[in-house]
Amino acid sequence: MKLKLIYTFLFLNAILTAVPAVSQGHLTLSIQPSDSIEFIRGADVSFLPQIEDLGGVYRVNGVPQDLLKIFKDNGLNYIRLKLWHTPSEDYNDLDHILEMAKRIEQQDMKFLLDFHYSDTWADPGKQNKPAAWAGLPFVVLQDSIYLYTKKVLRALYDQHTLPEMVQLGNEINPGILWNDGRVGGSFDNSGQWSNLGELLKQAVRGVRESCAAGDSVRILIHIANAADNGGCRWFYDRLIAQGVKFDIIGLSFYPWWHGTLNQVRANLNDLAGRYDKDIVIAETAYPWTMQWFDSRGNIVGSTNQLHAGYPATVDGQSAFLRDLIKIIKNVKNDKGIGVFYWEPEYISVQPTGSPWENCTLFDFSGNVLPTLDIFKEKPVEFTPVNVTIRLNTSTLADTLREHHFAQIRGQVDGTSIDNLPDGKRISWDSDSDLILKNIGGDYWEISFQMYPEDELSLKFWTGFNANTGTFQRLGWEGAITPFGEFTGNRRVFVAGVKDTVLSLQYFNSTSENKAQYWRPFESKEDSLTLYFRVNMLKAMTSGRFDPETNGPVSVRGDATLSGGALDWDISKVKLDRELFSVGNGSFWSGACRIAKNAVNTGDTLRYRFFIENHSQNGWESTVFRTFVYTHNLMENSSDTTLHWVYFPPGTTDIPALKSGLLPACPRILSNYPNPFNQSTRIRFILDSRQYIRISVLNILGTEINMLLDKVGDKGTHEVEWNGTDRDGKTQASGLYFIILKSEKTTKSIKIAMIK
C-alpha cells in the first residue's frame, strides 16, 4: 500500500514538474497530506524487538498474536520508533529499524521515525552527541547530521518503507548535540540558537535530499511538557526565528511530570492560533494499576503522581486517554492531528524487567487491556454553538452611559479553556475579550461561541472605560447565587447543542446575594413592565431636594396611554431610594405595570418625575419625557428600562399639567411614500415658532438617526429620511418610528421601509 502511494506521488510529481502552471478552467492536481485526512492513533513500540527476543508474548483472549496486528485490529494506524546512532546494546539501531519498518508496512500502518541523534536516551536532561561525532568542528558536525539523516532515509526508501513522518531530535527543549546545539539556561543566547537552527536545517536538508520522495515526508519538532505554554512559546518562537522549516509541533504529556489536561487544552489552542501548524502529542501514557510485577521500581509508583479524577485503574486509564484524544481532536482550526501512546508494549520480561509495566496497555501476563478499545472510538467532534448573553445595567449603582464599558470575566471548563471556539479569550481579568456592546439605554449584549457541554463561569464588570471601574467594588458586581445545582459566587451556563440566547440578567450592585436570574420586578403575561430610574444628585447638590425631607420621588404621566397606571394629578408610582447607589444614594427607581390591552404599538407615553414632599413645586423642569411602545416590547413581552436620567437642579415655571388641560401640540403628518424604498418625506405643522427635534427610532426603540434639531417657524414643514443611520449605514427593511419632540409635546408615526 505504502509503495503504491510513493509511486503515485512520484508519477504525479513528474507530471506537475513537466507541465507548466495553467490558468482557471483547467484541471489542477494536488496531493493532500494523508495526516490531514485521518486522525493519528499511534504508539511508540521501540522496545518490541528486545521484548520479543526475551520471550515476551502478547495475547487477545488468551491467544498469542503479533503485536502490530493487535494494534491494527484495534484502530491504531501509526507506529513510532526511536533510532540511536551507535547504541551499546544491539537494539534501536538502523538494522532493527529497517526490519520493524517492513513489519509496519505489512500491517498497512504508517511510520514515524524518531531520531535521537545520540547513542542513548535524549531528553530534556541530556542531549549527548554520538561518540562518533565527539570533538568534531561545528562545520563538520553540520555535515555529519546532514549525511547521517540522508543515509537513514535513503536506506528506508530503498526497501520501500520510507516513513510518512520524521522527528528530528527527541524532547529537544534544551537543544541537541550538546554543547554545540545547546540552548536554555546559561546557553540561552543568540549564538547558541543560531547553532541549533543550523543543525536542524541540515537535518531537514538530509530528509529532503534523501530520495525523490523526500519532500513528501512531514517533519516534526518535538519538545516535552505539553502543559507549559510559556515554555512552548519560548522554544518555538526562537526556533522559528532561525528559519527552520518544519510541519508539525510534537509535545510530550505525562501528568506526573507536566501538569493537567486543562493546561494542555489551553496550550494546544494557543499554539494552534499562534503558529498555524499541526500539533501531535508525540508521547503520553497513564497507569492502569499501582501494583507491580517485578522487583524493578516503577516510574509511576505513588498515587500522588496521578491526575485528579483519573484513578490508576483500567477505567481511569481509559478515561484519561479518551479525554486527551478529545482535547487534541477539538483543538481550534483543526490543528490537533493525533496522539502516540508511549511504549504500550513495555511489559516485564526477564532479566530486564520493566519500570513501565503499570503504564502499558497489557496486563502483567501480556493480555490486552480494554483501554485499547479507546483507539477504535471515533473521536468526538463538536460543532460550536452560538451563545448570546444580555445584561441590564439599570440596577447598577452608578452612572453608566451607552459609551461606557461592560465586560464578562470568567472561565470555561470543558473542551474550551481560555480561548473560545471563535478565538475570543476569556479570563478573570481585564484581558477578557468578552466585551458587551450597548444596544440602547441600559441594555448590553454579546454573542460568542462555546462547545456543547462546556461550562461557563462568569461575573459582570462595568467601568467608564476598560481600566476605570464603576462606583462599587471597583467595577465588579455583588454576590451571585448560580442557577440550578451549581455553587459558588458566580453566574453559570452550560452550553447545549443548539444556539442559545440566555434570559436577561441584571447587574447586582447591592451587598445582598442575588440569584443569577433575579429581576427588580415581577413579570406577568398580561402586562408590560416599565422600570423608571432617576438620579437626584444634581437636585440634591443644588439644595432643591433633600432625600430625608422631600422624598420619595414619583412618576406622573398620561393616564390614557398608561392604562391608568399613571396620572398627572396623583402619584401612583412611587420610586424607592437605592441606598447603595453612587452619590450617597442618589438613584431612585421603581416599576410600573401597564395592561397590554390598554396600549398599542407605536403609542407614545408622556411622563415626568415629581418630588412628593416639596413645599412649592415638585415637578422637574422638563416639559415632557416620552416613551414609545415598540413592537419588541408589545409582541415579546420583554421588560423595558427607561435609561436613567438626571432630575434637573432648578425649578420650573410650567404649571402642573392635568390630563384634560394639555397645551396645544404641533402635528406630524403621514410620510410619503409609505412604504418607501430609498427615501421618504415627513411633513409636520408648528403652531408657533419653537424648538423642534425630529429623530428616527428602530423597532427596539433605539434612536438611530436625528433628522432635525433646530428652532422652526410657525407653519408647514418637511424633512427627508434616506433610510440610513447617523453613520450613513443603510438600514434593513422593517418598521421604524419618526418622533417629533417640541417644547410642548411629542408625537410619533410609524413608517415602513422595503428593500
CATH for 107: 3.20.20.80
CA distance 326 to 617: 70
Specify whether 205 is located in the same domain as 244.
Answer: yes
CA distance 198 to 204: 10
Helices and strands in the chain, H and E counts: 14, 38
CA distance 445 to 434: 10
Q: Does some domain include residue 696? A: yes
The CATH number of whichever domain residue 689 belongs to comes to 2.60.40.1930
- Per-residue pLDDT at 37: 59
Which residue's entry shows cell 484513578?
Answer: 311
Specify whether 275 is located in the same domain as 173.
Answer: yes
- Per-residue pLDDT at 35: 39
Specify whether 596 is located in the same domain as 499.
Answer: no
Catalytic residue from among 105, 164, 171, 578: 171
Q: Does some domain include residue 6? A: no
Segments of the chain scoring below 50 in pLDDT: 1-36, 653-664
What is the per-residue burial (b if ≥16 Cβ within 10 Å, else e) of 258-269? bbebebbbbbbb
Question: In this structure, are residues 737 and 628 in contact, taking their beta carbons and an 8 Å threshold?
Answer: yes
The DSSP H or E segment spanning 407 is: strand 405-413
Q: Does some domain include residue 55? A: no
Q: Does some domain include residue 358? A: no
Specify whether 133 is located in the same domain as 244.
Answer: yes
The per-residue DSSP string of 650-661 comes to S---SPPPPTT-
What is the pLDDT of the chain when averaged over all its residues?
89
CA 316 vs CA 179, 255, 311, 319, 342: distances in Å: 41, 13, 5, 5, 17
Residue 720 annotated to the active site? no
Specify whether 710 is located in the same domain as 641.
Answer: no
Q: Between β-strands 573-574 and 553-557, what pairing exists: parallel, antiparallel or unpaired?
A: antiparallel
Specify whether 472 is located in the same domain as 558.
Answer: no
Question: In this structure, are residues 731 and 724 in contact, taking their beta carbons and an 8 Å threshold?
Answer: yes
Long-range contact pairs involving 226-230 (C-beta distance under 8 Å, separation at least 24): 226/251, 226/252, 226/253, 226/258, 226/264, 226/267, 226/268, 226/281, 227/253, 227/258, 227/259, 227/260, 227/263, 227/264, 227/267, 228/258, 228/259, 228/263, 228/267, 229/263, 229/266, 229/267, 229/270, 229/271
CA atoms within a 13 Å half-sphere pointing along the CA-CB vector of 94? 15
Domain boundary among 307, 333, 359: 333
C-alpha cell at 391: 445584561
| Residues spanned by the domain of 689 | 667-753
Residue 283 annotated to the active site? yes
pTM over 0.75: no
The per-residue DSSP string of 221-248 comes to EEES-TT-HHHHHHHHHHHHHTT---SE
Specify whether 191 is located in the same domain as 124.
Answer: yes
CA distance 249 to 228: 14
Specify whether 639 is located in the same domain as 672.
Answer: no
Q: Between β-strands 587-595 and 576-577, what pairing exists: parallel, antiparallel or unpaired?
A: antiparallel
Specify whether 552 is located in the same domain as 688.
Answer: no
Q: Does some domain include residue 344? A: no
Domain boundary among 485, 515, 545: 515
- Per-residue pLDDT at 608: 92
Number of compact structural domains in the chain: 4
Q: Does some domain include residue 160? A: yes
Q: Between β-strands 40-44 and 336-342, what pairing exists: parallel, antiparallel or unpaired?
A: parallel
With a CB cutoff of 8 Å and minimum separation 6, the contacts of 31 are: 9, 12, 216
- Per-residue pLDDT at 123: 97
13, with CB counted inside 10 A (0-12, 13-18, 19+), is middle
Specify whether 492 is located in the same domain as 554.
Answer: no
Catalytic residue from among 283, 343, 345, 620: 283
Q: Between β-strands 455-463 and 480-481, what pairing exists: parallel, antiparallel or unpaired?
A: unpaired
The CATH number of whichever domain residue 544 belongs to comes to 2.60.40.10
Specify whether 313 is located in the same domain as 200.
Answer: yes
Q: Coil, strand, or helix at residue 143?
A: helix
Instruction: Tell me how far apart the terminal alpha carbons of the chain are, to the nearest angstrom.
Output: 59
CA distance 462 to 712: 41
Domain boundary among 294, 309, 333: 333
- One-letter amino acid of 375: F
Specify whether 612 is located in the same domain as 692.
Answer: no
